[in-house]
A and B are shown apart, each in its own frame.
Chain A
Amino acid sequence: MSKKVLTLVSMIVVLAMLLSACGGSKPAAAPTQAPAAGQAQPTQAPAAEKATLKVLVHQNPPMVEFMNTFNEKFQAKYPNLTVDMSVVNANDLSTVTQTRLTANDVDVVGMFGFANAAQPYMKNVTPPNWQSLIDAGLMMDISDQPFIKNYDEATIKDAGTYNGKVYGINLGRVSYSGIFYNKDLFTANNVKVPTTWDELVAACEAFKKANIPCMTAGGKDGWPIFVGAYGLIGAEYPDQAKLVQGLWDGSIKWNDAKALEMWNKMKVYAQDMMESGASGIAGDAAPGRFASGAVAMFPGGTWYGPAIEAAQPSFEWGYIPWPGSNNPDDNKHLFGKYDQGWAVADKTPNKDAAMKYLTEFSDPANYQAFANAVGFIPTQPGATLGTKIGKEVAPYLANFLVGYEQYWVAPKGAGQYANPYASYFKPFGTYDDPKELADKVQADLQSGLDANK
């Protein structure tokens, strides 16, 4: 009997060990991988050792295409290094970044330029993700890396520095307050490229009469609808840092006369300018829809430029700042942000490989090829705006301003409508009356401001 008991106990112990092994979480590092310098590990691996470098980027087709080519070149130069690149939807980047950094399952992370930091006038706000990741010690201080010097100082300071240390290199600025327009359709329908709001309205009416949808956007992803109208905010509030401060201190309200003008225009944008069915177009598919020649205009970020070119190389298009005001001088600004950048996981066992990767990427020739492929406004001083989109935005670069959403942090307790989003209007949202919506947006914001007093 005791023999049977012993057998049973042994089986249970084995089973329990198997189960606990299933639940175990070890870093994915291969035994041959190098420990990070500056970490507690004993030595740094020689470069000749084999390692797999895990890289995470968000979905941006021209960038992904470039990265695939770059990775091949990198692997050819460093045969012992393999790049394992994951691509995720932009909406999921922060979630995947957090989980993979936490699990020590990534080495190099694609990260947007640092933004949305809490300002002194903001009370009781949650820090942005990037700040939490740095505070938690998950991102590596790369201040001393030689490749930092390849980028302009302002970019390093504004988009990759926190508490005096550099944690990210930013690869380019983008504007999201412009409109792509189809040159052939404008010419064929005898429509002038608009420089004022009234001209834009007239242009859309002319296209509608010709049975041509005026504008399209990747509404399925949600944000392209409201981001497409950010230029309308800019036309009313060129200094968007001041706008955010004004909203927090109450000197600016989303339902005052000036804002109401913006809401009226947003209604026209959502209901009269945007083509019906735009809510079903995926963000990635929108450039193709525009390049097909089916629609006259495509409000969106400069990052779409290469995708439009790739979809239809012979397609003739231009890019203009949103003519949101009837004063042409108000419409000369381009609002935008620091886009994609690189950061390194602090716990990476492949620090040497990661630094080689960023050094190689930051090489001026490689960086120029990247800027050409992706259409970003370069952040390396020596790089040129040789792309089509680069040439289109060049006349407005002196008027480039960081946009509202890069400064905005909502107070806790604010309602879900506390944003200047054109997508609140039908058919994308539920509102029809600009005044009613303006009051709702301000009430939702005020509710949060009051709750934190």
Chain B
Amino acid sequence: MVNYQFGRGRARWIPYLLLLPGILFYVVIMLGPSIATSVYSFTDASGIKGSAINWVGLQNYREFLFMGQASRDNYAALGRTLIFSFFVTTIQFTLGLLLALLVNQKLKGVNFFRTLFFMPVILGAVIIGLIWSLFLYPLGGPLAKVFALFGMQSEFLGGQPTVAMAWVIFIQIWANLGVTMMIFLAGLQTIPSELYEAARIDGASSWQVFKNVTWPLLTLSINTNLLLCIIGSLQAWQLFLVLLGYRNGTQVLGYLIFAQGFGQTSGSVTSAFRQGYAAAASIVLFVLVLVIGLTVQAILRRREERILG
């Protein structure tokens, strides 16, 4: 253990003073709004400045979890959130690893492909929405033309909820695959080449090298990627907004919260703002993310200790 010496007397407070801006920033930007959200969830706040805010106790939670068909629709949205998260995480994780292995080879033009695969990450949700809406335009869009060659047609994003959801999963993966790939690539480049040489000399096959050298030594990257994918996909909502809008059978919890909070549930311009209710819904989502996140983290940490000691 290193013991940093900052002197004596008042000088001992220097580390804490140095930490203060960071802590202040965290409290103002992260902790404050989180606490405010939990308080809001017990009120009928509309989010409109100057409007009366009444304490309603657990009413928002009761409505979200137990009131009529709307609460059952919320559970359905919860189910879709989990399905979305499962597919995004498994596919993005696997593809990210494969791409990282591919672009980690010493091949000509590999830097070009690294950039190409990473490029969608820098695009904002609105740009992504625009690109894919044009690409999936059912009346003569590029993919519709390809489908037509095989005598097929599809409404793509505007079609059946399952089809629309599948497209959002695909686009979410496309948009974020670069980050997963980069994290794996960074992990791969920290593995000493001597280990690969030793394994080869011992006669290990490519699969054995991957299984016994690459995979265990990627543990930290695996953990980071899994957590980022799971938490990111559980909280996803922007792509649902820009690609689908508020459509029955496609809402995930994150989008449901936005729609409730900002009066976009019915497609009507005269619907109501319900930020107290939306705050309660976001606390439910927070609990979900927390439980899944902590469970996954505990499992990964145990695995990490087992492998890396």
Contacts and interface: CB of A to CB of B under 8 A. Distances in A.
Interface stretch (B20-28, B112-120, B179-187): B20-28
- Most B Cβ at <10 Å: residue of A127, A132, A222: A132
Interface in B54-76: 63, 67-73
The 8 A-B residue pairs with the shortest CB-CB distance in the complex, in nearest-first order: A279-B158, A413-B68, A415-B69, A277-B138, A447-B69, A136-B51, A136-B50, A451-B68
Contacts of A312: none
Contacts of A135: 51-52
Given A16-B21, A94-B262, A136 B49 contact: yes
Contacts of A388: none
Contacts of B63: 412-413
A165 B251 CA distance: 39
Contact of A128 (B11, B69, B270): B270
B245 A98 contact: no
Contacts of B266: 410, 419
Interface stretch (B149-157, B190-198, B231-239, B292-300): B149-157
Contacts of A406: 270
Nearest to B245: A222
A219 B21 CA distance: 50
Given A220-B158, A430-B161, A413 B70 contact: yes
Interface string A396-419: 000000000110001011111111
A12 interface: yes
Contact of B144 (A130, A277, A281): A277
Given A5-B10, A138-B49, A413-B63, A129 B72 contact: no
B35 to A, nearest CB: 16
Contacts of A101: 48-49
B262 A95 contact: yes
A430 B165 CA distance: 13
Contacts of B137: 280
B101 to A, nearest CB: 37
A8 B158 contact: no
A95 B155 CA distance: 29
Given A129-B271, A132-B46, A281-B139, A23 B28 contact: yes
B20 A94 contact: no
B69 A448 contact: yes
A426 interface: yes
Contact of A427 (B17, B18, B24, B155): B155
Nearest to B163: A427
Contacts of A328: none
- Most B Cβ at <10 Å: residue of A4, A115, A129, A429: A129
11 contacts: A92-B264, A98-B262, A116-B271, A138-B50, A277-B153, A279-B159, A289-B139, A413-B67, A415-B69, A447-B69, A448-B69
Given A220-B158, A280-B157, A133 B10 contact: no
Nearest to A58: B269
Given A8-B18, A220-B133, A430-B249, A94 B138 contact: no
Contacts, number: 182
B69 A444 contact: yes
Interface in B239-263: 245-249, 262-263
B70 A16 contact: no
B69 A2 contact: no
Contact of B264 (A91, A127, A138, A412): A91
A424 interface: yes
Interface string A107-141: 00000100110000000001111101101111000
Contacts of A418: 69
A16 B19 CA distance: 11
A138 B72 CA distance: 35
A171 B40 CA distance: 37
Contacts of B161: 429-430
B142 interface: no
A19 interface: yes
Given A276-B138, A277-B139, A415-B72, A129 B50 contact: no
A424 B70 contact: no
Interface in B117-149: 133, 136-139, 141, 144
Given A102-B49, A138-B49, A275-B139, 19 more contacts: A19-B21, A91-B264, A93-B269, A95-B262, A95-B264, A116-B271, A132-B48, A137-B50, A222-B246, A280-B137, A289-B139, A410-B266, A412-B67, A413-B63, A415-B70, A416-B70, A418-B69, A429-B161, A451-B68
B70 A95 contact: no
Contact of B47 (A16, A98, A221, A417): A98
A279 B244 CA distance: 10
B18 A276 contact: no
A23 B159 CA distance: 43
Contacts of A137: 50
A405 B272 CA distance: 14
Contact of B270 (A95, A129, A428): A129
Contact of B48 (A19, A138, A222, A424): A138
